[in-house]
Chains A and B, each alone.
Chain A
Amino acid sequence: MRPEFTLPSSSSSSSADRRLNALVRHLATASMVSQTAVAFSPTSGFHGDSVFSHVVRAPEDPILGVTVAYNKDPSPVKLNLGVGAYRTEEGKPLVLNVVRKAEQMLLNDKSRVKEYLPIVGIAEFNKLSAKLIFGADSPAIRENRVTTVQCLSGTGSLRVGAEFLARHYHQKTIYIPQPTWGNHPKVFTLAGLSVKTYRYYDPTTRGMNFQGLLEDLGSAPSGSIVLLHACAHNPTGVDPTLQQWEQIRQLMRSKALLPFFDSAYQGFASGNLDEDAQSIRMFVADGGECFVAQSYAKNMGLYGERVGALSVVCRAADVASKVESQLKLVIRPMFSNPPIHGASIVATILKDSNMFNEWTIELKAMADRIISMRKQLFDALHARGTPGDWSHIIKQIGMFTFTGLNSKQVEFMTREYHIYMTSDGRISMAGLSSKTVPHLADAIHAAVTRMS
Chain B
Amino acid sequence: MFRICLQGAYRDDNGKPVVLECVREAERRIAGNLNMEYLPMGGSVKMVEETLKLAYGENSELIKEKRIAAVQALSGTGACRLFADFQKRFCPDSQIYIPVPTWANHHNIWRDAQVPQKTYHYYHPESKGLDFAAMIDDIKGMSLFSSQNAPNGSFFLLHACAHNPTGVDPSEEQWREISHHIKAKGHFAFFDMAYQGFASGDPEKDAKAIRIFLEDGHHIGIAQSYAKNMGLYGQRVGCLSVLCEDEKQAVAVKSQLQQLARPMYSNPPVHGALIVSTILSDPDLKKQWLKEVKVMADRIIGMRTALRGNLEKLGSPLSWQHITNQIGMFCYSGLTPEQVDRLTNEFHIYMTRNGRISMAGVTTGNVEYLANAIHEVTK
Binding site for B on A (CB under 8 A): 2, 9-10, 18-19, 21-22, 25-26, 28-35, 37-38, 40-42, 44-58, 61, 64, 85, 93-95, 99-100, 103-104, 107, 112-117, 152-153, 155-156, 159, 183, 186-187, 189-191, 297, 301-306, 329-330, 332-342
**B19 to chain A: which residues have CB within 8 Å?**
112-114
Quick one: closest A residue to B39, CB to CB?
A: A304
- How many Cβ-Cβ contacts under 8 Å join chain A to chain B? 249
**B77 to chain A: which residues have CB within 8 Å?**
332-336
* Alpha-carbon distance A85/B35, docked complex (angstroms): 12
Quick one: closest B residue to A45, CB to CB?
A: B217
Binding site for A on B (CB under 8 A): 9, 17-19, 23, 27-28, 31-32, 35-41, 74-75, 77-78, 81, 85, 90-91, 93-94, 105, 108-109, 111-113, 141-142, 144-147, 149, 151-154, 180, 183-186, 188, 215-217, 219, 227, 231-236, 242-245, 249, 251-253, 255-256, 258-260, 262-272
* Alpha-carbon distance A114/B229, docked complex (angstroms): 12
A-B contact pairs, 10 of them (CB 8 A): A10-B147, A32-B91, A37-B183, A52-B90, A55-B253, A85-B37, A93-B37, A304-B36, A330-B112, A339-B269
* Distance in Å: Cβ of B248 to nearest Cβ of chain A: 8
Given A152-B265, A335-B74: A50 and B249 interface contact (C-beta under 8 Å) = yes
* Distance in Å: Cβ of A62 to nearest Cβ of chain B: 12
> Which of B32, B108, B109, B263 is within 8 Å of A187, CB to CB?
B263
**A330 to chain B: which residues have CB within 8 Å?**
112
* Distance in Å: Cβ of B20 to nearest Cβ of chain A: 9
**A85 to chain B: which residues have CB within 8 Å?**
37-38
* Alpha-carbon distance A40/B180, docked complex (angstroms): 8
Given A37-B183, A152-B269: A341 and B141 interface contact (C-beta under 8 Å) = no
* Alpha-carbon distance A100/B85, docked complex (angstroms): 37
Q: Are B35 and A93 in contact (CB under 8 A)?
A: yes
Q: Are A50 and B244 in contact (CB under 8 A)?
A: yes
Given A85-B38, A155-B265: A341 and B245 interface contact (C-beta under 8 Å) = no
* Distance in Å: Cβ of B61 to nearest Cβ of chain A: 9
> Which of A22, A58, A95 is within 8 Å of B255, CB to CB?
A58
* Alpha-carbon distance A54/B252, docked complex (angstroms): 9
* Alpha-carbon distance A9/B149, docked complex (angstroms): 12
Q: Are B38 and A303 in contact (CB under 8 A)?
A: yes
Q: Are A337 and B186 in contact (CB under 8 A)?
A: no
Q: Are A41 and B217 in contact (CB under 8 A)?
A: yes
* Alpha-carbon distance A156/B268, docked complex (angstroms): 10
**B113 to chain A: which residues have CB within 8 Å?**
333
Quick one: closest B residue to A304, CB to CB?
A: B270
* Alpha-carbon distance A94/B19, docked complex (angstroms): 29
* Distance in Å: Cβ of A207 to nearest Cβ of chain B: 29
Given A29-B152, A95-B35, A304-B37: A116 and B269 interface contact (C-beta under 8 Å) = no
Q: Identify the interface centre among A9, A26, A112: most chain B CB within 10 Å of its CB.
A: A26
Q: Are B219 and A304 in contact (CB under 8 A)?
A: no
* Alpha-carbon distance A191/B260, docked complex (angstroms): 11
Q: Are A56 and B252 in contact (CB under 8 A)?
A: yes
Q: Are A103 and B32 in contact (CB under 8 A)?
A: yes
Q: Are A304 and B183 in contact (CB under 8 A)?
A: no
* Alpha-carbon distance A380/B236, docked complex (angstroms): 47
Given A10-B145, A95-B35: A32 and B233 interface contact (C-beta under 8 Å) = no
Known: A10-B145, A56-B252, A159-B263. 13 other contacts (CB 8 A): A40-B217, A44-B217, A46-B217, A51-B188, A58-B259, A61-B262, A103-B31, A114-B231, A190-B263, A304-B37, A335-B77, A339-B74, A339-B272
* Alpha-carbon distance A153/B18, docked complex (angstroms): 28
* Alpha-carbon distance A341/B36, docked complex (angstroms): 12
Quick one: closest A residue to B252, CB to CB?
A: A57
**B142 to chain A: which residues have CB within 8 Å?**
22
* Alpha-carbon distance A9/B258, docked complex (angstroms): 41
* Alpha-carbon distance A26/B144, docked complex (angstroms): 12
* Alpha-carbon distance A33/B186, docked complex (angstroms): 6
Q: Are A333 and B263 in contact (CB under 8 A)?
A: no
> Which of A22, A64, A94, A107 is within 8 Å of B35, CB to CB?
A94
Q: Are A57 and B251 in contact (CB under 8 A)?
A: yes
* Alpha-carbon distance A100/B111, docked complex (angstroms): 41
Q: Are A306 and B267 in contact (CB under 8 A)?
A: yes
**A21 to chain B: which residues have CB within 8 Å?**
144
**A58 to chain B: which residues have CB within 8 Å?**
252, 255-256, 258-259
* Alpha-carbon distance A94/B35, docked complex (angstroms): 7
* Alpha-carbon distance A28/B85, docked complex (angstroms): 25
> Which of B93, B145, B219, B259 is within 8 Å of A50, CB to CB?
B219
**B216 to chain A: which residues have CB within 8 Å?**
40, 42, 45
Q: Identify the interface centre among B36, B227, B244, B259: most chain A CB within 10 Å of its CB.
A: B36
Q: Are A32 and B234 in contact (CB under 8 A)?
A: no
Q: What 4 A-B pairs come out closest when comparing CB atoms? A: A45-B217, A340-B234, A304-B270, A333-B108
* Alpha-carbon distance A216/B39, docked complex (angstroms): 37
Quick one: closest A residue to B85, CB to CB?
A: A190
* Alpha-carbon distance A113/B18, docked complex (angstroms): 7
**A117 to chain B: which residues have CB within 8 Å?**
234
* Distance in Å: Cβ of A119 to nearest Cβ of chain B: 11
Q: Are B245 and A113 in contact (CB under 8 A)?
A: no
* Distance in Å: Cβ of B332 to nearest Cβ of chain A: 22
Q: Are A116 and B233 in contact (CB under 8 A)?
A: yes
* Alpha-carbon distance A18/B74, docked complex (angstroms): 44
* Alpha-carbon distance A57/B81, docked complex (angstroms): 21
Q: Are A28 and B266 in contact (CB under 8 A)?
A: no
Quick one: closest B residue to A49, CB to CB?
A: B245
Q: Are B35 and A156 in contact (CB under 8 A)?
A: no
Given A53-B249, A333-B109, A336-B105: A302 and B36 interface contact (C-beta under 8 Å) = yes
**B217 to chain A: which residues have CB within 8 Å?**
40-41, 44-48
* Alpha-carbon distance A220/B147, docked complex (angstroms): 47
> Which of A30, A305, A333, A335 is within 8 Å of B152, CB to CB?
A30
Quick one: closest A residue to B143, CB to CB?
A: A22
* Alpha-carbon distance A103/B109, docked complex (angstroms): 33
* Alpha-carbon distance A18/B147, docked complex (angstroms): 11
